[in-house]
Structure 1
Amino acid sequence: MNPVKSLLIISRQAPWAGPGAREALDIALAGGAFDLPIGLLFLDDGVFQLTQAQRPATLEQKDLGANLQALPLFGVESLYACRHSLAVRGLGQTALGLPVSVLDDDQLRALVDHYEQVITL
């Protein structure tokens, strides 16, 4: 039997840019349901998933907010955001709807090295 491996999911798409954001959340929730050690990193346009005032209905999209809020309930509590990605998009931590650890470039490299498997969506 193989030992459980840790998994980092890197979500790089805005919530309205296609299926990538939803797929990343689905993988995180499924893995959390099976008690896998999972981290979720919001990078590039993926940081837009964290904003509080989203109106997905305007773009005829589904709201990811409920899925994001459910992450801790499924044991996915290691949430991270890229400091540079937030800054470039004019987002401060007060604009975010979830508590995340904001990491600089060196911390991001260490984070990726910490996990045994990495999936980027």
Structure 2
Amino acid sequence: MFWAVLVARVLVGLPVFVFGLNHFLNFMPMPAMTLPPAAMKFMEALNESNYMTVVKVLEVVGGALVLSGRLVSLGLVLITPVAVNIALWDVVLVKQPGLGVVLTALCFFLVWAYRSHFAGVFAVKPRIG
């Protein structure tokens, strides 16, 4: 189980961290893609509002935490919603599954692997304090 979790952490953390850094440092030029009109409008809105900058900061921080093995639960809390949104982008707007679906599945596997750290989130009747 240790090796499966380690591989999943690297497969999630590395691309998220690298693509997050690429937003700021632009060391990997992204190829021009032809996207459906709805996806183009959505991406333009995200870029013009600087929303993507916030998302990329979350990716860099979360990816670093997951890769480092320290505060992995916090890293997953930051990365998993981003991965789910990438999967929704792929399935709903681009109309084909892509990297986001794989990242989301790996994030859910990691949440399951670290489930003892997320026990309070899944409490049916949580107590205050």
Give the TM-score, by structure 2 length: 0.28
Identify, as 1 or 2, the structure richer in strand.
1
Structure with more relative contact order (C-alpha pairs < 8 Å, separation 6 or more): 1
Give the TM-score, by structure 1 length: 0.29
Identify, as 1 or 2, the structure richer in helix.
2
